[in-house]
Amino acid sequence: MSKLRAIVMKPNDNVCTVVEEIQPGTEIDLDVFGQKTTVRVSERIPFAHKFAFRQILPGGPIVKYGEVIGIATREIKPGQHVHVHNLESRRGRGDK
């Protein structure tokens, strides 16, 4: 059995959270509620950060915990780090 390296919280999420730092080129096996998939990470993903495991188009929702947590400011491909450089938060804002 392989070691758990990333967690998908809800079936409709498009990002997962890593439980250790992940280096570029690492293949991560995910279980998305019974559907197995493997994603090759293209960037360093710091501990507790997110990466996309599905393509996210510019302006598309970033979904974690089954909820929209932000909007993609550019295309995010599977395996790319998802953070403030490519998302605009929708949580805790009063202006949008």
In a domain, 95, yes or no: no
The whole-model pTM stands at: 0.89
Tens of pLDDT along 38-61? 999 999 999 999 999 999 999 999
Exposed, middle or buried by CB within 10 Å (0-12, 13-18, 19+), for 32? middle
Contacts of 93 (CB under 8 A, 6+ apart): none
In a domain, 71, yes or no: yes
The answer to whether the CB of 9 falls within 8 A of the CB of 66 is yes
pLDDT of residue 94: 56
Q: Which residues constitute the domain of residue 53? A: 6-89
In a domain, 75, yes or no: yes
Q: How far is CA 10 from CA 33, 42, 52, in A?
A: 8, 23, 14
44: how many CB neighbours lie within 10 A of its CB? 12
Q: In the chain, which residues have pLDDT < 70?
A: 1-2, 91-96
In a domain, 23, yes or no: yes
In a domain, 29, yes or no: yes
The residue with tokens 């929702």 is: 61
CATH of the domain at 37: 2.30.130.110
Q: How many domains does the chain fold into?
A: 1
